[in-house]
Each structure stands twice: as C-alpha cells, then as structure tokens.
C-alpha cells in the first residue's frame, strides 16, 4: 500500500475513533438511519443517561469497529462507587413524650444519640421511672463507639445510669450536660467507671467511621447542641430539642450558619424535633419572661413569693435571682433536683449569684415574708415534689397560706393538666394567691414552633426527612410542614419505637423492627415490674383483695383448720360479716368435695375456689376482687 493510501486509512480510523463525547455523538447522528431513528432520538436510543454520566447500553459495545468500554475512555467520568447505607434505629422518643434515644449505624459502627427516661402515666401504679429497652444495644455492644448527648434534660439523659450498668461506653457532651450526668452517675456509683468527654459547640469528634459536628442551639437549658453526623453513607442531622432565640438569656443565638453550611454540603437525612409542630408562628424569646416577672414582683411587694419551675431551666432561675436582687429579696431553693441543678450550674459558671443573696431553707423563718423568694420544684404537680407537699401540708419546713404569692412558671406537660390543677386548687383553698394562667407570660417554651421548624428544614435541605420527639399528632403535623415546603411524601418517614430505617443516596426503606419498648423502674428493681404486675396492681386498686387460708390433712386432704377469710380493700368486715360467712362456707364445701373425690392437685383446687367464690361475690355485690387461696398441708 502506498504512503498516501496508508495516511488516508489512518485519518479515517482517527475520525471514527476520536476522543470525547462530541465525536461519538456526531457519529451517532450521521448514522441515524442505521439505528431506526434520527438526530437526538437516535442518540438517546443508544445511550442511557444516569447519575454517573452517559453510559452505553449492551456493556459498552459499539456496533462498529473494535470493542471499547467508553466509561474508561478519556472524557468520560468513571462510574462512582455506591455509598454504603446508613441505618437509624429508634428505641424511644416516637409516639411518646420523653425517653429519647436514637441509634445511627454505618459500616459496622454505632453511635447513640441521647438516652432519656419518661415519667410514669397514671395507670403505672407504683412505678418510679420508665426507661428504654436496651436489649438491642446489649446485643451489639462491641459495635457501639460512644454516646453523644444533645442537652441535660431528664428525657435525654435520665436513662444513662441504667444503660451504663450494662454497657460501658464513652460519653460526649457539653460542660453543663456532663456536669449533670456526673451527678447522676455518682448516685449510682458509676462515675469512676465511666469516660466523660467534654465537647463544646463548634467542635468535631470522630467515633469509628463517623465524624460528628456539635452545633450550638437555643433551648430552655444552656449548652444545648444539635449534631451533624458525617458518615460514609452521607450526613445525618439531628436537631435535638431547639428553638430560634435571637436574644437568649445566656450565650449566643442558635448557630444557623452551621446548619446552612452543612445543608450546602449535602444532607442525606434530617431528624428534627416535633414537640411544638402544632403551634403556628415563632416561640417567644426567654426575655419576655423577665418583664412579666418584674411586674409580678412589684405587685407582690407585701407577700412571700414562691416560684415553681423546672429544675433544669437555669435561665429562668437566673431571671428570678436578678429580680430578687432588684427588689432586695433573699433566695432559697427547695427540692432535691433544684438544689442539685443549681449547684452544678453555679460551679460551671452558668448561674451567677450576687453575694449573700442565697440562704438556706432553714433560714426562711428568720426573714419577713416580703424579704424572701422561694424557688421550688413541682411545676408539673408531681406528687412527691416540694410544691405538692406544700399544697397538701406535707412539707417539713414550709407551710403556705394567705401571705403567699405563688407563681407556676411552666406549662403542664400533656397528661399532667389534672395533677397541676389539683395542686392549684389545694393552694387556693389555703388562701394563697396563685399565678398559673398563660396570660401572665411567666413561661415560654424551649421548643421550636412551625416557622422555626420551616427555617431549619430550608437551611438543611435534606433528601429524607424524619420527624422525631413527639406523639403521633406532632409527628404527622411536622410531616405536613415538610410537604408544604416541597418535600415529597415518599421521602418522609414516620416511625415508632423499635423501628429501623435504612437510607442511602438511592432509596429509603424500613427494615424489620428490633426489640424495644418500656422498662419500668420500681425502687431498686429494673424491669421486674411488667404488664402482668401492673394489671394486678390495678385490679387490687379498683376491686380489692380476698385471701382464703386453710390447712389440709397431708394424708386425706380434709380440712384441719379454716378456711379463714381476710379482706383488704373489698368490703368493711364488720358490716359484711354475712357475705364473708357465705364465702367461707363456699370455700369449705369445695375443699371437702375435693377431699372426698381424691382431688389433691392444688392448682385444680385453687381454681375451683377462685371460680365459685368469684361467682358468689359477683352475684351479691357486682364486684370482682382478686381472690387469693392459700393452702398448706399439715
């Protein structure tokens, strides 16, 4: 072949196998007739477009010339490696108020966000606390890299001692949060066994494969933070409890710029609190309470002032102290949790006490009523709180009456309205002047209302949205807000306690649930009170108890003594002797019948006594007491 022919052949080959997308596209256009179409449609028929750029169908094989993988050609981006999935497990805080705890998992590493508790409902008789079920954490203890805490409220840290007694992992939180945690761990003899790592807002820590940014937020307690959790699968933002307060009592306003920065970098999922999702507008600034307190102090110049608030609301207590100083009053604290919180806050510099303003509770009687302010717990009507004991005249050191001006500086938590109302009624009966209505503006919420929730949503710009911290109505309303802002319903997830969600850049799906629920703490017992015990307690509380005691002959089963009848909480014995005598005769007849027929199986005998005595009492009284036969052989 001549040199001219060879050059012509070489140029032809170069034109057919030239570099870059432009020449390939041109070739496809020129050969449109061979592909059964023309122009752009022919090109789209041959190539599919996806997130990784244009890739040829049929494994990159062209219909001409040498086989070639275009994804490796110069000018074509390499196919991106798919990011791993992120799993989020909810062990509490959904469809309930309190008991907040969330697990974030990626590449075999787990971090725990918060570990809270809840207070018992009215039907949880005798129960002191409700904590999460930690079974799933115990089963995966070797993968847990640490616990990160948003703030120091009990519904976010109250379960820690019970978890740390089973699984020892490091804890990360801000100074005030860990100061409060330290007090709790000392009470449970766990302080020296636990690694507490102080982390300030604005810092970043690494736990396993994840990096966590601590972002400053406003709340009703200082040192609250949100988290941007950077995982290999994407960034998950957890707001914790927050509100947007431009004029907080202590510290700076919420760090909105950090939320915006994380949002610009790309956020896979947003977990945002929903407590006030039903409330329109904005949550008022904490400073509105200052003006109300000042006005009330002025009007109560001839009274002793008693203010009930949350022990954890350090900013509110600071405002009370400032007003007391202005009007020349001394301040005393009542309630163990109030004293503990204030002690930690003062030591860490979050509470500023003017010199000689604080007095001991025992010193109250040495001052005129108009010279003191008593700050106490009991704003939620808790039966054992200081204010409740004052209302029912059970407090050892404080008696209340006509000379007292009482301010309840808190809104009732849903479900506590009746107990708070009862305490207010008792105080009014004693002649106290009680300020509890919302019109006095003696309390503002620490949680974001709808407009603030929208702001965070638009700053973070998540791909997926998961409302947390609230009952079903709160979660649903928050989901509606997200959809109003343009979020697709398929990208919103409303879970339940025990739910597990898997998310990555391509999909979101629900996985089988893990073991989760409520564990009851009763005294020193953890988990030994369950639904059956609570059912029995309720039964006893409603209908009372009848105990039937008898001694049987060990040889033939005949009755040697008894049966004796004991009634507790059922009927007054002296007025119901006839009924109890009938119960005795019925039980005796059953025991003798069983002896005559050689029935010696105690389970059968006891069940017959229960059935026949229950039927008798039901016919006579229309009641259903618990019946407890006790038999012994002699």
pLDDT, tens only, 18-43 = 434 333 333 333 444 333 333 333 33
Q: Indicate which CATH number applies to the domain containing 314.
A: 3.40.50.10710
Residue 52 included in any domain: no
According to the model, what pLDDT value does residue 469 have? 94
R_g (Cα) of the chain, nearest Å: 35
Residue 54 included in any domain: no
According to the model, what pLDDT value does residue 545 have? 78
Token output for 344: 């930690």
Residue 327 has pLDDT above 90, yes or no: yes
Domains identified in the chain, total number: 3
Strand (E) or helix (H) holding 230? strand 225-231
Question: Both 224 and 140 in a single domain?
Answer: yes
According to the model, what pLDDT value does residue 17 have? 39
Provide the β-strand partners of residue 173. Answer: 198
Question: Both 181 and 117 in a single domain?
Answer: yes
Nearest to 231 by CA among 248, 251, 206: 206
Question: Both 233 and 331 in a single domain?
Answer: no
How many Cβ atoms are within 10 Å of 284's Cβ, its own excluded? 15
Question: Both 370 and 409 in a single domain?
Answer: yes
Distances (CA, A) of 524 to 121, 134, 138, 218, 527: 19, 17, 20, 35, 10
For residue 10, name the pLDDT band (cuts at 50, 70, 90). Answer: very low
pTM of this structure: 0.75
| Whole-number average pLDDT of the chain | 82
Q: Is the dihedral of CA 566, 571, 576, 580 positive or negative?
A: negative
According to the model, what pLDDT value does residue 539 have? 57
pLDDT, tens only, 495-534 = 999 999 999 989 999 999 999 988 877 655 565 455 565 5
Where among 415, 435, 455 does a domain terminate?
435
How far apart CA 420 and CA 424 sit, in angstroms, is 6
Question: Both 116 and 164 in a single domain?
Answer: yes
327, 301 Cβ separation under 8 angstroms: yes
Residue 70 included in any domain: no
According to the model, what pLDDT value does residue 49 have? 36
Q: What is the mean pLDDT of residues 449-462?
A: 97
Q: Indicate which CATH number applies to the domain containing 600.
A: 3.10.20.580
Token output for 1: 């072949």
How large a percentage of the chain has pLDDT more than 90?
51
According to the model, what pLDDT value does residue 540 have? 61
Q: Is 219 annotated as a binding residue?
A: yes
Question: Both 424 and 464 in a single domain?
Answer: no
Residue 298 included in any domain: yes
Least confident of 140-154, 499-513, 576-590: 576-590
pLDDT, tens only, 45-73 = 333 334 333 333 334 333 333 444 434 44
Residue 542 has pLDDT above 90, yes or no: no
Q: Is the dihedral of CA 517, 522, 527, 529 positive or negative?
A: negative
pLDDT, tens only, 199-225 = 999 999 999 999 999 999 999 999 999
According to the model, what pLDDT value does residue 489 have? 94
Residue 232 has pLDDT above 70, yes or no: yes
Nearest to 394 by CA among 385, 404, 406, 403: 385
Residue 537 included in any domain: no
Question: Both 237 and 92 in a single domain?
Answer: yes
Residue 318 included in any domain: yes
Greatest mean pLDDT range, 181-195, 438-452, 545-559: 181-195
How far apart CA 624 and CA 621 sit, in angstroms, is 8
Question: Both 203 and 352 in a single domain?
Answer: no
Where among 402, 435, 468 does a domain terminate?
435
According to the model, what pLDDT value does residue 534 have? 55
Residue 527 included in any domain: no
Q: Is the dihedral of CA 126, 541, 97, 104 positive or negative?
A: positive
| HSE of 118, CA atoms in CB hemisphere, 13 A | 29
Q: Is 126 annotated as a binding residue?
A: yes
Structural domain range at position 269: 86-281+446-522
Where among 366, 401, 435 does a domain terminate?
435
For residue 234, name the pLDDT band (cuts at 50, 70, 90). Answer: very high
Residue 11 has pLDDT above 90, yes or no: no
Q: Is 151 annotated as a binding residue?
A: yes
Distances (CA, A) of 335 to 330, 450, 558: 17, 34, 59
Question: Both 427 and 333 in a single domain?
Answer: yes
pLDDT, tens only, 254-277 = 999 999 999 999 999 999 999 999
Greatest mean pLDDT range, 111-125, 424-438, 475-489, 551-565: 475-489
Least confident of 3-17, 349-363, 610-624: 3-17
Residue 159 included in any domain: yes
Q: What does residue 196 show for φ and ψ, rounded to 5 degrees?
A: -105, 125
Residue 193 has pLDDT above 70, yes or no: yes
Q: Is 443 annotated as a binding residue?
A: yes
Q: What is the mean pLDDT of residues 287-312?
A: 90
CA 156 to chain centre: 6
Q: Indicate which CATH number applies to the domain containing 105.
A: 3.60.15.10
Question: Both 345 and 482 in a single domain?
Answer: no
Question: Both 453 and 596 in a single domain?
Answer: no
Residue 431 has pLDDT above 90, yes or no: yes
Which of the residues are catalytic?
Answer: 273, 447
Give me the residue label for tokens 């029995």: 536
Residue 377 has pLDDT above 50, yes or no: yes
Greater confidence, 381 or 96? 96
Question: Both 303 and 246 in a single domain?
Answer: no
Q: Is 558 annotated as a binding residue?
A: no
93, 132 Cβ separation under 8 angstroms: no
Q: Is 522 annotated as a binding residue?
A: yes
């Amino acid at each position: 072949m001549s040199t001219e022919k060879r050059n012509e052949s070489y140029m032809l080959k170069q034109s057919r196998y030239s570099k870059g997308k432009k020449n390939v596209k041109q070739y496809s256009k020129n050969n449109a007739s061979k592909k059964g179409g023309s122009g752009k449609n022919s090109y789209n028929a041959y190539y599919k477009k996806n997130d990784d750029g244009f890739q040829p169908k049929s494994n990159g094989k062209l219909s001409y010339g040498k086989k070639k993988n275009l994804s490796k050609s110069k000018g074509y981006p390499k196919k991106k490696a798919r990011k791993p999935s992120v799993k989020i497990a909810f062990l509490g805080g959904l469809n309930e108020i309190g008991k907040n705890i969330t697990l974030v998992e990626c590449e075999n590493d787990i971090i725990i966000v918060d570990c809270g508790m809840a207070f018992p409902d009215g039907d949880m008789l005798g129960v002191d606390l409700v904590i999460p079920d930690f079974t799933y954490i115990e089963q995966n203890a070797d993968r847990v890299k640490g616990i990160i805490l948003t703030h120091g409220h009990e519904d976010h840290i109250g379960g820690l001692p019970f978890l740390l007694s089973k699984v020892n992992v490091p804890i990360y939180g801000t100074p005030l949060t860990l100061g409060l945690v330290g007090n709790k761990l000392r009470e449970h003899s766990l302080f020296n066994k636990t690694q507490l790592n102080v982390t300030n807002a604005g810092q970043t820590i690494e736990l396993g494969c994840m990096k966590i940014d601590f972002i400053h937020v406003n709340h009703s307690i200082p040192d609250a933070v949100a988290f941007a959790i950077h995982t290999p699968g994407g960034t998950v933002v957890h707001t914790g409890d927050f509100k947007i307060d431009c004029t907080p009592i202590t510290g700076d306003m919420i760090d909105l710029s950090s939320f915006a920065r994380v949002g610009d970098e790309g956020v896979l999922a947003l977990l945002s609190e929903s407590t006030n999702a039903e409330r329109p507008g904005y949550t008022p600034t904490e400073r509105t309470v200052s003006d109300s307190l000042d006005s009330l102090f002025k009007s109560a110049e001839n009274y002793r002032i008693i203010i009930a608030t949350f022990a954890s609301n350090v900013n509110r207590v600071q405002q009370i102290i400032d007003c007391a100083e202005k009007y020349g009053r001394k301040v005393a604290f009542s309630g163990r949790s109030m004293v503990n919180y204030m002690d930690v806050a003062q030591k860490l510099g979050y509470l500023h006490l003017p010199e000689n303003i604080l007095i001991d509770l025992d010193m109250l009687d040495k001052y005129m009523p108009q010279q003191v302010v008593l700050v106490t717990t009991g704003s939620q009507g808790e039966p054992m709180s200081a204010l409740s004991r004052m209302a029912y005249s059970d407090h050892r050191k404080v008696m209340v009456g006509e000379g007292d001006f009482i301010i309840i500086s808190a809104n009732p938590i849903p479900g506590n309205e009746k107990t708070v109302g009862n305490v207010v009624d008792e105080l009014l009966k004693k002649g106290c002047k009680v300020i509890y209505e919302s019109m006095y503006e003696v309390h503002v919420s620490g949680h974001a209302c709808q407009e603030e929730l929208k702001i965070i949503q638009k700053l973070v710009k998540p791909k997926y949205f998961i409302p947390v911290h609230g009952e079903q109505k709160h979660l649903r309303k928050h989901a509606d807000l997200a959809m109003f802002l343009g979020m697709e319903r398929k990208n919103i997830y409303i879970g339940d306690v025990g739910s597990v969600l898997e998310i990555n850049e391509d999909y979101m799906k629900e996985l089988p649930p893990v073991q989760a629920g409520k564990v009851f703490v009763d005294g020193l017992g953890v988990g030994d009170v369950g639904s059956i015990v609570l059912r029995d307690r309720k039964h006893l509380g409603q209908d009372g108890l009848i105990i039937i005691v008898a001694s049987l002959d060990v040889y033939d089963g005949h009755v040697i003594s008894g049966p004796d009848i004991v009634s507790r909480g059922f009927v007054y014995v002296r007025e119901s002797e006839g009924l109890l005598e009938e119960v005795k005769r019925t039980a005796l007849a059953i025991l003798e019948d069983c002896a005559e027929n050689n029935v010696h199986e105690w389970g059968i005998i006891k069940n017959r006594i229960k059935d026949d005595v229950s039927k008798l009492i039901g016919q006579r009284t229309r009641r259903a007491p618990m019946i407890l036969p006790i038999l012994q052989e002699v």
